Structure 1
Amino acid sequence: MAENLFDLTGQVAVVTGASRGLGQYFSRALGRAGAKLIVTSRKAGDCDAFIAELAAMNIEAKALVLDVRDEASIKAFAEAAPKQFGKVDILVNNAGMNIRKRALEVTWDDWNAILDTNLRGPFFVAQAIARHMIAQGYGRIINVGSVTSVRGSAGLGPYGASRGGIKQLTMSLADDWGEHGITVNVLAPGWFKTNQNKAMYEDEGWVEYLVERIPMKRPGAPNDLDGAVVFLASEASRYVTGQTILIDGGISVGATRALVKK
């Protein structure tokens, strides 16, 4: 057993959707813990600036193209990934998207785009990488979900369905692959500012409304995710599988402070 259960030295981690946002948060945390990184984006060159940033942090990283909506892209990625550093120990299934609309406005194409990216894609990426993990008898798969994995929200019907689906899928994969030394868990962030939702954070009234419903009294900050992703990627979580870990400041508990008279 490693002396430091959170040390990822010698481990190789893949982070999908790492050209921006949460994917970069996760990558930095894993790299600081000692992992070598394979970061992906849909277009060649999208991660070049990030690779340079990681190099300045003395984190070794390489970039691969991966479109999780495209079967051929997944197959090419799965063949290339283990060749970058000789293996893959950790997969962070982060690539995702959202289209915020009321349920009556959602189109057929909206539904397909969201579910293909957030649910079908992560399954087939995990399946492809799991083949390598099974061969080596070890792996950590972290599927990125959301607080909507466990609670509903108006305007997020297809997105919530995809994130709830990730929770259920993760439990099935944990059961399938546990005998091979592979753990599969969900890391489910609450409200963190990303490119997808940054316009909402410019509305002071909305931010005030949000904070009132978060027991910790603030939205998430990037380093709030570090401990959870390193935990789930490391030996510290060796007996944790099929679980959904919410990093949400408590919003999923259904805070009722506003209803309580002072």
Structure 2
Amino acid sequence: MRPFRGEDCAAVLGLVHADLLPGHPVVTPAVLDQALERQGLRCEVLVSATGEVLGAVAWAVPAGDGPGLLRWLHCREDEQHLAETLIRHMLAQLGRRTVHAYTEPTVLAPAGLAVRNRPGTRRALEVCGFSGTDHSRYLHHRLDTLSRRLYAITDLTPCPEASGWQLYLRERDGTMIGEARISGPVDGTTVLEWITLAPQRRHLGHILLEQCLTNLADRGIHHVTTCLDAPGDSPHREAVLQLHEAAGFTVVDQLHTYTRCP
């Protein structure tokens, strides 16, 4: 193990790209730099005897006795021992304290480990004493085959305080029925960050979601992703998931967060 160096960028990006979920933009060297910018973050790489980069792990070093945070880890998923080596090294550096893993989103991925896509890392976390919690579902929709609408019943406006759009669904008299927030596009991909409806208008959710998707398709967006809370025992969450699936979204993976107590 040794600290990350600039010359490791291409190899680490190769490992990151192997783990990307459908609909996630390609990670550039600039994006990787952003993933390393957090204050108190350490990143180290695992290299072979010949100098080949086999994996990388980044974690936040806490102040005092606070919990540590595994931000991201990438290695060959079919070689579980590599993930175990990276995790055990991180734990040794953090000492005796609680450690959380994948509890915060990064520029590389949303919050939560994609457990179907990352089986080696999931098993390594469990072997190293981490317990997982079902956090959310990652959904993806391809919009390039979506038909255009001849008319729109929603307003799509730029967000004044951030990159992206705000979409509003209103009654004829201007009364707000619902709204949605969409992130700024990257390489033809965007994220549906949230969608909400007035309580008495929840039956119109399919209209708001359909209008959101068609507005994006009309603007040349090819992929949209979103993360929904794990259904669990909540009928409302299950209904929201079914609404998105009916609109054409596909559940790609389950996202789990992890905690290890000392």
TM, length-normalised to structure 1: 0.30
Query: Which structure has the highest helix share of the two?
Result: 1
Query: Which structure has the bigger radius of gyration?
Result: 2
Query: Which structure has the highest strand share of the two?
Result: 2
